[in-house]
Structures are given as structure tokens and as C-alpha cells.
Structure 1
Amino acid sequence: MYDFLSYRPITEDDAKLLLDWRTAPHIAQYMLTEVAYDLDRQKAWIARCNARDDYQHAIIRIEDGDVGYASITVTDPRNGVGEIGVYIGDADAPKALTAYNFVGTLNHAFFTMGLHKLVNHVIAWNDRTARAQAFNGYRHVGVLKDHVLKDGVRHDLHIFEQSAAEWAEFRKKFRDDRNWWGKPTVYRG
């Protein structure tokens, strides 16, 4: 259904693109960490990420153009818990499409990687991402008060969660069962 949306693997050749996105003000303001603009460090980070078995990431593409980044981190392998990160680096990308970027990532996390649950953290002032979490079936489960120190100020961190079974039911509204690589996924509950 969403043929305009696809993903591709990340290589070290993507270092400048990712670093430009990650340090752009429209992205950096919502991130919990700060990244120095250092191309060699970015290449090394990509190499380390690509070697990990508890981390997968991809470039998000809309209509064959690179527009964003998605990652899945396994935070608790024993219990099958992970966290996703998604951002649109291209400030000119169609904003209406960004909520759908989660669909392939959720399919990939739950039905390709086999995770049981995702738990995401969203900084308090990131209303757009908080709304996208709800749009994609996440439950708001709490707030960590004064949890993040950013630019010398403490901020609340909102926590959202969703299980594979919940996503299997919720994703029916999107009618898209593909993972990052365009392969159909099946819930095996």
C-alpha cells in the first residue's frame, strides 16, 4: 500500500549524510544525546553499529530519495525488549508521510527480529513524536520527571510501549505487512 516508502542498508558512505541530519537543528533539538561533527567518528560508529547483533539500522526512503533514519536497539535480549529510533533528516520531506515511517520499522522489529515488546522514550516537548507513538498503537505508560539534562535544563521523559501482539492487531489499519527489506512479515504469537 505504501509503495512510496522503502528502506536501505547503511554503509560507511552514508556517514556525511547521517551526520548532517543528526546535527541539524530540527533533529538535534529532540535527541537525548549530542553528536560532534566528526566524519571519522561517524564512519567508525557506522562500522560498530553494522557489526552489532543487538542493533539494526536503515535509511528511510520516500519515492527513491533518502529522507531519514530508523534504528532498532535490543535493550533486553533475554526478554525480547527493544527500542526504536526514527527521524526524518530531510527537512523538505513530506511531513504527512512521517507517521508511516514507523510501520516498516515496527514490522521489522517485531516480526523479522522477533522482539516481544518495544519501549520508547520521548522528550517532553516532542509533541509530534508523542502523537506519532499514539498513531502507531503505542500506549503512554508514564513520565520520568526531570530525567534528561539537555542544555543545562532538566526535562521530563515520556515512556511509551507496545507488544508484538498489540502491533499485529493494530497494524491492520495500515494494510502494510512489509519489513525494511520489503518482505512480508507474519505474526507468529
Structure 2
Amino acid sequence: MENNLQLRPLEKEDLDFIYKMRTNPNIMDYWFEEPYTTKEKMVKEYENALNSDSHRSFILFHSNERVGYLGLFDIDQRHRNAEFAIMFDPDHQGKGYAAPATRLTVEYGFNQLNLNKIFLYVVKHNEKAVHLYQKVGFKIEGELKEHFFVDGSYHDTLMMGLLREDYVPGK
């Protein structure tokens, strides 16, 4: 399946696809953001980001069909780290794309951007996500008590990190 997955930089034509996910509370709760945005705001954010080196946003394709959005955010050039985040269209969740898509992005960060560390935040009770990230090589670095408000209550959150020296491609 990994051969059928491809990352492509985010293009303006992808904004409708992302808008559908960014207004879905079930998705945005796990991005720790409010499911509220407008297409106009997204266009402005996209245009402002064109001149920024602080993040890389990708669309994930499977056999020429958009299935997800992922990226490296808050790229710190001095300290060589960035935050990873991923979301899938609900029609494409649970199909085994998450681990290979995460690997593609991690490898881009390490091999193209020369990052030393990629980190992420995940609510502790999202055991499937924690397991997936551990499968790729991320390790739990800490726990933040009641850090994010998700689905009507506060939840403990894990910070996970992956160092370049610890990453095993294809793991």
C-alpha cells in the first residue's frame, strides 16, 4: 500500500477538501482546535503561508484520491525540530494509511529539512493513536494534566517525540 501513497504540497485547489475536515468537530477535537473556520479565512492563511518557512503542509493521496492532510508545523530552524499533525477524511479513516503517511512525513522532515526531532501531542485516552505513533518510533516524553478540552471535558495529553538517531525507516 505504501507504494500507492504519495505526499504532495498543499495547493489552493485542496482547500475545499481541508475545509470539509476543519469544520468537522469529530476531527478538529483531536487537532485541539475549534471546528470553526471560513473558506475565506483558509484562503488568507494559505496565501500568508506561501512566504513562510515555518511549516510544510501536504495532501496525502492514495491512488490519485485525496485521503488526508498532514504536515510539520512550527519548524524551528535553530533547534531543528517541528510538530507533526495528521488528519484523514472520515471516508478514509481506518484503512491503514496513518502509519505509512506518518513515516513519509517523518522521513521528509529528517531527510529534506534536516530536522533532529519531530514531536506531537495526543490525548492520552486515544490509545490507537498512541500505539500507531509508537509503532513508527515516537516515544512518550511527558504527560500534561488536563491540557486539552475535547468533547466537553479536559483530558490528559501525552507529548511524544522522535529523534532522527532513533528512527528506523520502515519500522
Tell me how far 1:13 sits from its aligned partner. 2.1
Task: Say what the alpha-carbon RMSD is for the aligned residues.
Answer: 1.9
C-alpha separation in 1, matches of 2:92 and 2:12: 24
Change (3 A) 1:93 1:160: closer
Tell me how far 1:92 sits from its aligned partner. 3.4
SS of residue in 2 equivalent to 1:43: helix
- Structure 1: gaps of 5 or more residues: 174-189
Once the two structures are superposed, what CA deviation does each residue of 1:155-175 show, in whole Å capped at 9, x if it has no partner? 1110111111111xx1143xx
**What is the match of residue 186 of structure 1?**
none
**What is the match of residue 126 of structure 1?**
126
C-alpha separation in 2, matches of 1:41 and 1:109: 27
**What is the match of residue 169 of structure 2?**
171
C-alpha separation in 2, matches of 1:146 and 1:10: 33
C-alpha separation in 2, matches of 1:97 and 1:153: 29
TM-score by length of 2: 0.90
Once the two structures are superposed, what CA deviation does each residue of 1:98-139 show, in whole Å capped at 9, x if it has no partner? 221111100111110111111211122322221111010011
C-alpha separation in 1, matches of 2:58 and 2:75: 18
* Highest RCO, 1 vs 2 (Cα 8 Å, sep ≥ 6): 1
User: What is the correspondence of 1:68-87 to structure 2 with a 5 Å cutoff?
Assistant: 68-87=68-87
Asked whether the equivalents of residues 8 and 60 of structure 1 are also in contact (C-alpha less than 8 Å), the reply is yes
Aligned amino acid, residue 153 of structure 2: V
**What is the match of residue 10 of structure 1?**
10
Aligned amino acid, residue 143 of structure 1: E
- Structure 2: gaps of 5 or more residues: none
SS of residue in 2 equivalent to 1:36: coil
Percentage of identical aligned residues: 22
Asked whether the equivalents of residues 116 and 164 of structure 2 are also in contact (C-alpha less than 8 Å), the reply is yes
Asked whether the equivalents of residues 71 and 86 of structure 2 are also in contact (C-alpha less than 8 Å), the reply is yes
Aligned amino acid, residue 127 of structure 1: E
Whether 1:108 aligns to 2:108 is: yes
Aligned amino acid, residue 13 of structure 1: E
Change (3 A) 1:72 1:163: same
Structure 1 residue ranges, 4+ long, deviating more than 4 angstroms after superposition: none
TM-score by length of 1: 0.82
Asked whether the equivalents of residues 80 and 116 of structure 2 are also in contact (C-alpha less than 8 Å), the reply is yes
Change (3 A) 1:104 1:166: same
What is the aligned residue count? 171
SS of residue in 1 equivalent to 2:8: strand
